[in-house]
Amino acid sequence: MNPIWVYGVKRGAVAQRIRDGRVESLTAFVIRDGDLITDDYFGRKVIRTALREKMPSYMVPKRVIFLDELPVTNNGKLDRKRLREMA
């Protein structure tokens, strides 16, 4: 799948929230691109609307959390375990 460009988003990642061995929901972690999205409520709405236009509804994250930077491991790779804990 090709990356999806969303206005005001510099980088992003999605983590699953798992309960009883099943995916309960998806949470998006987003780094803002400059000052394009300043209001959290408006930013979440813009991101979710843009994703709904390009993806099936079951792939659109329920939650959007804004971060200053994504967590990385000692090797410099995305720390997926910490993202799942944060979700």
Pair type for strands 63-67 and 22-32: parallel
pLDDT of residue 73: 94
| pTM, two decimal places | 0.82
Residue-averaged pLDDT of the chain: 87
**Number of structural domains found in the chain:** 1
pLDDT tens, residue by residue, 38-80: 778 888 888 899 889 988 999 999 999 999 999 999 999 999 9
In the DSSP assignment, the letter for residue 64 is E
Asked if residue 3 belongs to a domain, the reply is no
Which range marks the domain in which residue 22 is found?
9-86
Asked if residue 1 belongs to a domain, the reply is no
Tokens of residue 3, six digits: 């990356």
